[in-house]
Chains A and B, each alone.
Chain A
Amino acid sequence: MKFMLLVLQNVRRNKLRTTLTCLGTMVLVVVVTLVWSVLTNLQAQLDQDKSKMKAIVTERWRIPSQMPYAYARGLSEGAARKEGDIRPEDSMSWSFYGGSTDPEKRTRESMLFAIAMEPRKMTTMLDELDDLPDSQAQELKRVADAMEKNVQAIIVGKDRLAALKRRVGDRFKLTSINYKGIDLEFEILGVFPPGRYDQSAIMNIEYLNRSLEKYERETGRKHVQADRSMNLFWLVVPDTAAFNKISGQIMESPDYKAPAVRVETLAAGVATFMEPLKDILWGMRWLLAPAVLATLSLVIANAISISVRERYTEFAVLKVLGYKPWQILTIVLCEALIIGTLSGLLSAALTWLVVNHVVGGLPVQLGFFGKFYVPAAAFWWGTAVGAGTALVGSLLPAWTACRVRVAQVFARVA
């Protein structure tokens, strides 16, 4: 491409304007990248691995859902009672226990929320932890096994651990927030592999259950939370037919009536959870993103048309030399493309780097979602968005540039 030199020199001509255009493009590409990252993450949650369907059991009428832990045993069998009933492939219970290392005051740094569950289920039931590279998987398995034997064991994410200023091997005590009077003492046995669980912690449900029983023994009355300590129950089923069957078994069983439960697919559960967010997501997808794209095109169109207007005489000179309209059109489009592509790529790369590796994920703490990360695909989205909007934005100015009437331009000059 022999004209590349001319294109590059033109891009470099007004460094301030080129820089401002690039910055404008970059800011807007960052917005688009973040919006799309959130949407993609949510979409990924909704399109769960279909070969392994998760059913989620919650309390039917109350939010937050609080069920007796006694439900766990039957639910883990899928409430199978008679001939022909089927059982889930796997299952886990979810309880949440939260407290502060500082009995006097709760600060962000001193607080810890742990999922109380059967430790061995970590490696089979939790997203990402069920699919680790070998070395990490072995380490997690080791910790899980140790946690089965030592009920006071806890595994904590690296960021939370840093916030608590504790290390593996340390012991610490939590003054509970949601189980008044049940203050527990933990021993840190391990850390999650870096990623989604950096802010999380998992403890053994057995410890919570024993502590609730001990409370009853010592005070002579049940703890107020004793029969409402299980928040969720997850079942793994092979397909929709199995899901329907098991969900029927649970709903028909007399064992889950007080309180009553509901059974949903995880996707449906997520969808229910996201219902109030639906309008925001719709707006992000159909209003915010297009508005940003349109703004971006306008920014570029504006910059390019100013620079084209300044150069009418130059385009006329090129025509005198024998340049054809399409060649001039190409030169202007290439200028815009260079600006758009480079700033698109650069800002996507920066967003990716900053969000994933400096901040360590967007802390959108929504229910089951972990942090949001910018997918690697953002590199080509960003580039495509930059290039595409630059192309769209520069079409009109490029067209006026290539339609320059030589005789008229010079009639004005001389």
Chain B
Amino acid sequence: MSSDICVRVNNVHKSFQRGDEILHVLIGLTLEVPEREFLGLMGPSGSGKTTLLNLIAGLDTPDEGEVWVRDQCISQMNESRLAEWRTRNLGFIFQFYHLLPVLTAYQNVELPLLLLPLSGRQRRQQVLAALDIVHLSDRIHHKPGQLSGGQQQRVGIARAIVTDPALIVADEPTGDLDAHSAEEILDLLGELRNSMQKTIVMVTHDPRAAARADRILHLEKGRLVDEAPEAARLAGRG
């Protein structure tokens, strides 16, 4: 496999049992994401975007087909290997931030580091660095309830990058934010790609968010329909 592909999804099928019927969510989906790409995934609700993201993040396994991230076939790993892999290689950004309400911003960002063999000092350095990147150095001892939505999402991003993973996946990261906060978050994601060389896969409904992506893919009924032409992307920005 060529070394400049970060994510490779190969002929993946995924279906769910829904009562008596079987719901085919992903049907033979194939996808490659080069290193350092900011990929936008769009599609109607229920089209399987989150399902695809979960497979790429190793949170679920495909019924058929393979998912590779760099040189690891994550669709073959067991639950415990996957957990370890996620800690070091994947950052996940949620629509609803999902910070632990009892912990401060600092403690939330520290959570993934607790799983790694680091000294308290190393952890502290990394947490502070991550919070600095998201411009929250002055809010480290605030609890989520004391932060705005945009600030919470920034903590969420700091938590996603604190272990310095190569791949960041984001499921509608601006879906719950006002326009201004959304812009800030998108700026940050762009920054992660540009200056930190991260590969980003972002699911979004928001055309302005999609406009920030290098490439946009449309998912419909479990298949990729087409790669949105450059023109559409530029139009979206206007």
Interface residues of A (CB under 8 A from B): 2-3, 5-6, 9-10, 12-13, 313-314, 317-325, 327, 406-407, 410-411, 413-414
Contacts and interface: CB of A to CB of B under 8 A. Distances in A.
Contact of A406 (B54, B80, B112): B54
Given A317-B98, A414-B96, 17 more contacts: A3-B114, A9-B103, A10-B102, A320-B59, A320-B92, A321-B86, A321-B87, A321-B92, A321-B112, A322-B85, A322-B87, A324-B80, A324-B83, A407-B59, A410-B59, A413-B95, A414-B95
Q: Considering residues B94, B103, B107, which has the most beta carbons from chain A within 10 angstroms of its beta carbon? A: B94
Nearest to B49: A414
A314 B102 CA distance: 11
Contacts of A317: 94, 98, 100
A410 B49 CA distance: 12
B206 interface: no
- 6 tightest CB-CB pairs across the interface, nearest first? A322-B87, A9-B102, A407-B60, A322-B86, A2-B114, A317-B98
A318 B111 contact: yes
B202 interface: no
A321 B107 contact: no
A6 B103 contact: yes
B187 interface: no
B115 interface: yes
Interface of B: 50-51, 54, 57, 59-60, 79-80, 83-88, 92, 94-96, 98, 100-103, 107, 111-112, 114-115, 159, 171-172
Nearest to B123: A2
B59 A322 contact: no
Contacts of B111: 6, 318, 321
13 contacts: A6-B100, A6-B111, A9-B102, A12-B102, A317-B94, A317-B98, A321-B111, A324-B80, A325-B79, A327-B115, A407-B51, A414-B171, A414-B172
Contacts of A407: 51, 54, 59-60
A414 B50 contact: yes
A9 B102 CA distance: 6
Given A320-B57, A321-B112, A413 B96 contact: yes
Contacts of A414: 50, 95-96, 171-172
B87 A406 contact: no
A5 B107 contact: yes
A12 B101 CA distance: 12
A408 to B, nearest CB: 9
A14 B143 CA distance: 15
Contacts of B100: 6, 314, 317
Nearest to B114: A2
A170 B27 CA distance: 102
A12 B88 CA distance: 30
Contacts of A406: 54, 59-60
Contacts of A324: 79-80, 83-84
Contacts of A12: 102
B50 A322 contact: no
